[in-house]
Structure 1
Amino acid sequence: MKHVHSGKVRDLYELPGGELLIVARDTISAYDYVLDTPIPEKGAVLTQLSLWWFEQLADVVPNHVISTDLPEGAPAEWAGRSVVVKKLEMVPVECVARGYLVGSGLKDYRATGGVCGIALPAGLEDGSRLAEPIFTPTTKADVGDHDLPMTYAEVEGSVGGELAAKLRDITLEVYRRGAELALDRGVIVADTKIELGLLDGELVLGDEVLTPDSSRFWPADQWQPGRSQPSFDKQFVRDWLTSPASGWDPASGEAPPSLPADVVEQTQAKYIEAYERLTGRKWGQASR
């Protein structure tokens, strides 16, 4: 195996036959930093939840998965957190869909009255549900850099009108399907980010999909616009990092502090709860 790339939470290897092996680590990122404190089992949760979603979305968009078998020579500890996949020509756009106003979308709205150039009604609050899901793409920044909002016209300028329309339509359909299925299980998908690549001219879903790293998951019975929502995702870590307890300022330019044990434990529990609520499977019984 040849090491090809390491991202914020995944390592990529090329196999002798040309396929790729993606291995998810237990690292967690926030505010464009990779934290030095791992979240136990996180990489396996992301991998297993993505595999489940790939199955649910197979009729919406094809995915890059070839096999979940561990290749010969790979370390045994990679079992359950690695996937053999097809090599894609990744599209240089982070494809984001939002059904609720939160995070960077809320910040953009408060500054401009819209998100990524899409005008929204006045009077929306933190956590407000949008009338229709919207496509709010960003640039795909390198590790340590910040993804920047893109208008739809900028996406068209980057990849062309035909491909831009396909990116938008697939992203919104993945969000709609995921949000509908999750809501049946008592979970609101506030927003999500997906990555798409080309294989023989066809768009294929890659990386991960609808995980606590790439999406905001809220308990539906506790949703209340106008405040920060309880969640089953890494927003819990973001909130701790910006709380007085951490003593850290994201604008300081300094690396964030290590996470305390209780934050690690609660974050792990949230990731596992997301998996269990969405799939209906107990984590201890998962195929890992």
Structure 2
Amino acid sequence: MGLRVAAACVTFETVKVTSPIAYMGKVDRVYLLHYIQSDEMGVENIYGSFYQEVVRQLREEQGIEDIRPVWVKVYRFPDVLREVVAILSAERDEGNSVYVNISAGPNEYAAAAAIASMMVENARPFTVGTEAYQVPEEDLTIYFEGNSPVGMSKKVFDPRDLPCFHIDMPEQDVVRGLRVLGTRLEKGHRTSYAAMIGALKDEGCWERPPEEDARGVTQAEKMYYSRHFIREWTENDWVVRDRRGRLELTDDGRTVTSVFYV
């Protein structure tokens, strides 16, 4: 069984990095992507303080010794993508699973980390919401200039184009077929081969040409259902089988049916 590995970005957050790792239970290794701008000592000290506090919490409070710093300009999308892909690929080759925190860090890191996680097997991206904020409500005036709201950024650089990577959407009939399965499970309807094949045909998800003079569900249709639908669902971890061998949708499967071709 492989190691449980976590990866996160450290800028101006601590608990948003350490709390999810504690929630996971046993974590064997942590990668911390961290940025130091060496020609601006003040910025370096601020980033360094947050990084050192994250390391302290992981070591002293969670007992994690294998902490690997990754020095990268976390505001540069291509740089982050390169580093995260390298991390995930190396851990995948060792048979390890990597849980990637895409909530702590700048937007460029979040986008790159999410895309990398979808490109490499055994990567599991996750988000972390903020339950309580450090800045009290009475101090929110720092986001204003006079009476005008400004936000955290007062001035910005020119926009930079991001590199584009094509990610194929799942096949429409496979996703719609999965939705048919989920609906039948929710309603307590039968999900046998014959029942599902009939339902897929009724919903227009069945693209295999009908057989001439065929009566009922043929063996060829069962093979097609198994190979084209069940195998795709299983290989993508959209379904699992319960103790009695019946198909059940996973959380990923339910997400797919709620996102695509609705």
TM range (shorter): under 0.3
> What is the TM-score when the length of structure 2 is the normalising length?
0.23
Q: Which structure shows the higher helix fraction? A: 2
TM-score (norm 1): 0.21
Which of 1 and 2 has higher RCO (CA within 8 Å, sep 6+)? 1
Larger radius of gyration: 2
Of Structure 1 and Structure 2, the greater strand share is in: 1
